[in-house]
């Protein structure tokens, strides 16, 4: 079966610069080299490192289609005219190149991997609704246009699947996210790995290191976590923040700079690493005493939570979106949110819940005071993470396409 994958034109494939969607596609490519059940075709923005890395994939063909800023300026009026004539036209003319690649390849199925799912209208017209899949990596409600375009939905959590709410028949398949369990495991790469990394980051052996990993943006709740650190009086409790506003492609933002201003007041208890490549992350999870993911939006799912569990790192998280599904059976500490960022960016207060920074601080203190509980959480998390292997992801993906 030839399957054409269409990611958004944001980051390159393979995922040399990070990106959750790009990393998941790379997992498919990796596992397809082993199981070889599909002929994969992907499109990507050009990137020298990615193009070099792509040479080792024999069962995936990649089209590197450049963004064309000058053509995009000229395309705007054309797009507007076509839409006034009720003809489908993408806002980003990059998708015109994708359409030509689809026509050249003649795939059996097309899977739009996140991004603006309406941008592939012309492809849907060429392929037909029943041969087009929308892979929902985010919470999204069905619209008449989406329902005309896609006869199949892949959802990364039951929360995402339930949020779609179609009004006409559509096949919905649950395909939970995954991590590479050969990479993310409790086993250190070398003797003294944790001690060496702690020294390089400026942590002492006695420090209780709390870790956050993810995009640095308000919806991930990192500001609440930093506020919680300020409520904890013990100077041995420290916070390591891994990530940037947009993976390797963007290393600063006004919000990120505001967070960095907190460092001086916290006197060495707050450490920022910036973006860390995925293959280097296991050592950080293994070094930390706990990981905290205090999302205040409806988190569709949690790849970083799987990574932490797989490495034996106890997890503290909020009861947001699909996160409880992924953490079920891991003994993770789940905290109620006191506010929620809606899909439109507005903030909704959730009455009756304690302030999130206080809840986080209390959870950290309880976990630090109970090493036995931390050990039990570590073991339970490792067991739960086995459900999210790369092999299982590939098999679920292939099974969904064949139904």
Domain ranges of the chain: 2-175, 193-387
Average per-residue pLDDT for the chain:
96
pLDDT value at 359 more than 90? yes
Percent of the chain whose predicted confidence (pLDDT) is above 70? 100
Is residue 389 a contact partner of residue 178, using CB atoms and an 8 Å limit? yes
The verdict on pTM exceeding 0.85 is yes
Domain 2-175 has CATH 3.40.50.2000: yes
Q: How far apart are CA 385 and CA 160, in angstroms?
A: 20
Domain 193-387 in this protein, CATH class: alpha beta
pLDDT for position 43: 98
Query: Does residue 42 sit in helix, strand or coil?
Result: strand
Query: Does residue 176 sit in helix, strand or coil?
Result: coil
Mean predicted confidence (pLDDT) in 315-329: 97
pLDDT tens by residue, 87-133: 999 999 999 999 999 999 999 999 999 999 999 999 999 999 999 99
Distant-in-sequence, close-in-space partners of 86: CB < 8 Å, separation ≥ 6: none
Q: Cα–chain-centroid distance for residue 213? A: 11
pLDDT for position 249: 72
pLDDT for position 119: 97
Q: Cα–chain-centroid distance for residue 297? A: 14
Q: How far apart are CA 338 and CA 329, in angstroms?
A: 24
pLDDT for position 188: 93
Does 193-387 match 2-175 at the fold level?
yes
pLDDT value at 302 more than 90? no
pLDDT tens by residue, 244-292: 998 777 788 999 999 999 998 998 999 999 999 999 999 999 999 999 9
Distant-in-sequence, close-in-space partners of 232: CB < 8 Å, separation ≥ 6: 361, 364, 365
Query: Does residue 188 sit in helix, strand or coil?
Result: coil
How many Cα atoms occupy the beta-carbon half-sphere of 383 within 13 Å?
11
Distant-in-sequence, close-in-space partners of 185: CB < 8 Å, separation ≥ 6: 282, 310, 311
């Amino acid at each position: 079966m030839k399957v054409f994958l269409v990611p958004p034109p944001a980051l390159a494939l393979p995922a040399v610069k990070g990106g959750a969607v790009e990393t998941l596609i790379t997992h498919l490519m990796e596992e397809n080299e082993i199981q070889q059940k599909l002929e994969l075709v992907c499109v990507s923005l050009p990137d020298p490192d990615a193009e070099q890395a792509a040479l080792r994939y024999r069962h995936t063909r990649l089209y590197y289609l450049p963004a064309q800023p000058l053509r995009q300026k000229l395309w705007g009026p054309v797009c507007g005219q076509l839409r006034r004539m009720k003809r489908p036209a993408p806002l980003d003319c990059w998708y015109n190149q994708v359409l030509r690649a689809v026509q050249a390849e003649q795939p059996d199925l097309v899977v739009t991997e996140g991004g603006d799912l309406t941008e592939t209208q012309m492809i849907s017209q060429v392929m037909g609704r029943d041969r087009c899949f929308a892979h929902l990596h985010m919470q999204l409600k069905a619209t008449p246009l989406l329902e005309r375009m896609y006869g199949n939905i892949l959802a990364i959590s039951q929360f995402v699947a339930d949020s779609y709410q179609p009004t006409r028949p559509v096949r919905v398949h649950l395909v939970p996210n995954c991590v590479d369990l050969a990479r993310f495991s409790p086993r250190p790469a070398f003797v003294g790995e944790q001690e060496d990394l702690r020294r390089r980051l400026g942590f002492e052996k006695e420090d209780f290191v709390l870790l956050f990993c993810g995009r640095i943006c308000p919806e991930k709740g990192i500001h609440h976590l930093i506020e919680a650190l300020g409520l904890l009086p013990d100077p041995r409790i420290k916070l390591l923040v891994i990530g940037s506003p947009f993976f390797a492609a963007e290393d600063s933002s006004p919000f990120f700079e505001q967070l960095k201003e907190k460092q001086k007041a916290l006197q060495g208890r707050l450490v920022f690493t910036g973006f860390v490549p995925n293959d280097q992350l296991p050592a950080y999870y293994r070094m930390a005493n706990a990981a905290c993911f205090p999302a205040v939006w409806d988190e569709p799912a949690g790849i970083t939570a799987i990574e932490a569990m797989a490495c034996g790192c106890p997890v503290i998280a909020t009861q947001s979106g699909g996160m409880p599904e992924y953490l079920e059976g891991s003994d993770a500490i789940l905290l109620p949110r006191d506010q929620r960022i809606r899909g439109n960016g507005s903030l909704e207060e959730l009455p009756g819940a304690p302030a999130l920074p206080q809840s986080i601080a209390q959870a950290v203190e309880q976990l630090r005071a109970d090493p036995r509980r931390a050990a039990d959480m570590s073991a339970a998390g490792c067991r739960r993470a086995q459900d999210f292997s790369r092999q299982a992801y590939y098999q679920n993906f292939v099974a969904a396409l064949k139904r």
